[in-house]
Structure 1
Amino acid sequence: MADAQAVRAVLADLRAEGDALEQLVGGAGAAAWRRATPAEGWTVAHQIAHLAWTDRLALLAVRDPDGFAREVGTAAAHVTTHVEDGARAGAHMPPETLLKRWRAGRSLLWTTLAEQPPGARFPWLGPPMSTASMATARLMETWAHGEDVADALGVRRTPTARLWHVARIAVRARDYSFAVHRQPAPGEEFRVELRAPDGTLWTFGPAGAAQRVTGPALDFCLLAVRRRHRDDLAVRAVGPDADAWLSVAQAFAGPPGKGRPAGVPGKGAS
């Protein structure tokens, strides 16, 4: 019952996150879709096209794991260009067509995830995922690319409690973050204490851990999706391994990318 409740909760938040971003871009006007975002070479249209493309990939992983494996295997030698090609193809569509495609794709993925039986697991670009984990990953990516869109449009979005999912996946991906940067994972757990948008405290890890990370949840999430440099955020570490984590943390699967340079939050690639 608890697992089912967790799935329903994250699915509700996934839908809300997508709806919020759709409202932002849907009311921006056609010209705004051609604005450059902080990701090098990507416009607002590229960002939405990428979300539509990855939603399709996630749907393939859930419905046809063998087909997913074939597609990922084909792209293994050129992952970056494969992602770029997917975004570029969608970005050439008229904004209203692209918006409809993204809306339909994420709706179908949402319905498909909601229909999955308890205990289901699906392949992905990193470790296999449960239904809740897949929904969380889609929420995280929607929020992260929404930050790129907001930067391009000059909008400051109000953080919500949905950031809890982003923070949680970032904490759970700690060892993966070290591995993708070709560094050994620490042997001990960290304590992570984050101030939520409503002022409450979100905690992860043992209370008595010697090494810890603290700060605003928004800042930690921006760091974990590599949308801001750690020097521009109020996230602090106690302990050498925790400090090293702040330089490699990422909540998403795949290569880390270039990240953002310090001192210029709205510039650089992600």
Structure 2
Amino acid sequence: MSEVLLDDLRDESEELDRLVADLEPDGWATPTPAPRWTVAHQIAHLAWTDDAALLALTDPDAFTAHVEQALKATDTFVDEGADAGAADPPPALLARWRDGRARLHAALAAAPAGARFPWYGPPMSAAAMATARLMETWAHGQDVADALGVTRTPTARLRHVAWIGVRARDYAYAVRGLTPPAAPFRVELTAPDGSGVWTYGPEDAAQRITGPALDFCLLVTQRAHRDDVALRAEGPDADRWLDIAQAFAGPAGPGRPAKGAR
């Protein structure tokens, strides 16, 4: 497990922690862009998912049983977990999230090299799971920042979010019952500080995506509508992907409406 990746996961979590640590109770009740979810729901969901990730790492059989229960209520189990956590007093919820992510950090650091662990989508290595936790922390942190009227400065940690967004291309098709394109795509993303371009896929690929890394990350985490990001698709398959891109496991998300449609 890369220490850089674990450090980036910790830093992403601490950045969000700073946004909520001093909130008054009314602040925790602030509605976020996710329908019906408050700031408390966002943090409760992260705490709940951290607990699930820890279970997958330490007791795969118990996690499999957990997934079987979740499959009985695919449309509600995520909201139910968030509702339960959001009902706790904010200090208790914050303490639970902090404790859970610390225990998860230790479990990720101790995971055997090459091991794979169950998840809601395909099984994952510990590194991929850490990347997924960073992606989700960043995405839900964006919801919190938007709710509180805070503009966050994008960092090089977005490279992890972009990576998992690219890697999840075929999953975005499969979860919608579609057949993924056979050929890989080329993705070229401008780093947040403008210092370079992050590239994925073969340079001579016929299907290409280009644009700002921040916009790509907002799209694949479904925090922005395609109409509101500056991404360019070359080729019909790449164009279709931008309509359904999804970096997270689970059912296909509805995405966010375009700004003009709100």
Match of 2:106 in 1: 111
Match of 1:74 among 64, 69, 73: 69
1:202-257 deviation line (CA, Å, top 9, x unaligned): 00001111110000000000000001000010011000000000000010001122
Match of 1:152 in 2: 147
Does residue 1:203 correspond to 2:199, yes or no? yes
Map residues 182-193 of structure 1 onto 2, 5 A cutoff: 182-193=177-188
The separation in 2 between residues aligned to 1:157 and 1:80, in whole angstroms, is 31
Match of 1:263 in 2: 259
Does residue 1:244 correspond to 2:240, yes or no? yes
Match of 2:172 in 1: 177
The separation in 2 between residues aligned to 1:177 and 1:8, in whole angstroms, is 29
1:99-128 deviation line (CA, Å, top 9, x unaligned): 010000000000111011211110001111
Match of 2:124 in 1: 129
Instruction: Give the C-alpha shift of residue 264 in structure 1.
Output: 5.1
Determine what percentage of the aligned residue pairs are the same residue. 62
Instruction: Give the C-alpha shift of residue 28 in structure 1.
Output: 2.9
SS in 1 for 2:20: helix
- Counterpart residue type for residue 247 of structure 1: D
- Counterpart residue type for residue 19 of structure 1: E
- Counterpart residue type for residue 249 of structure 1: A
The separation in 1 between residues aligned to 2:182 and 2:115, in whole angstroms, is 30
SS in 1 for 2:152: coil
Match of 1:212 in 2: 208
- Counterpart residue type for residue 224 of structure 1: V
Which ranges of 4 or more aligned residues in structure 1 deviate by more than 3 Å? Answer: none
User: Which runs of 5 or more residues in structure 1 are unaligned?
Assistant: none
Match of 1:13 among 8, 11, 20: 8
Instruction: Give the C-alpha shift of residue 185 in structure 1.
Output: 0.4
1:71-96 deviation line (CA, Å, top 9, x unaligned): 11012021231111110011011111
SS in 2 for 1:259: coil
1:127-157 deviation line (CA, Å, top 9, x unaligned): 1100100000000000000111111101111
Task: Please give the TM-score of this superposition, normalised by the length of structure 2.
Answer: 0.97
Map residues 222-237 of structure 1 onto 2, 5 A cutoff: 222-237=218-233
Does residue 1:102 correspond to 2:97, yes or no? yes
The alpha-carbon distance between structure 1 residues 23 and 89, as it changes in their structure 2 partners (threshold 3 A), is: same
Aligned residues: 261
The separation in 1 between residues aligned to 2:114 and 2:22, in whole angstroms, is 39
The separation in 2 between residues aligned to 1:139 and 1:79, in whole angstroms, is 23
Alignment RMSD (CA, Å): 1.1
The separation in 2 between residues aligned to 1:76 and 1:246, in whole angstroms, is 27
User: Which runs of 5 or more residues in structure 2 are unaligned?
Assistant: none
SS in 2 for 1:78: coil
Match of 2:47 among 47, 52, 55: 52
Task: Please give the TM-score of this superposition, normalised by the length of structure 1.
Answer: 0.94
SS in 1 for 2:76: helix
Match of 2:160 in 1: 165
The separation in 2 between residues aligned to 1:27 and 1:255, in whole angstroms, is 34
Does residue 1:91 correspond to 2:86, yes or no? yes
- Counterpart residue type for residue 235 of structure 1: L
The separation in 2 between residues aligned to 1:258 and 1:252, in whole angstroms, is 13
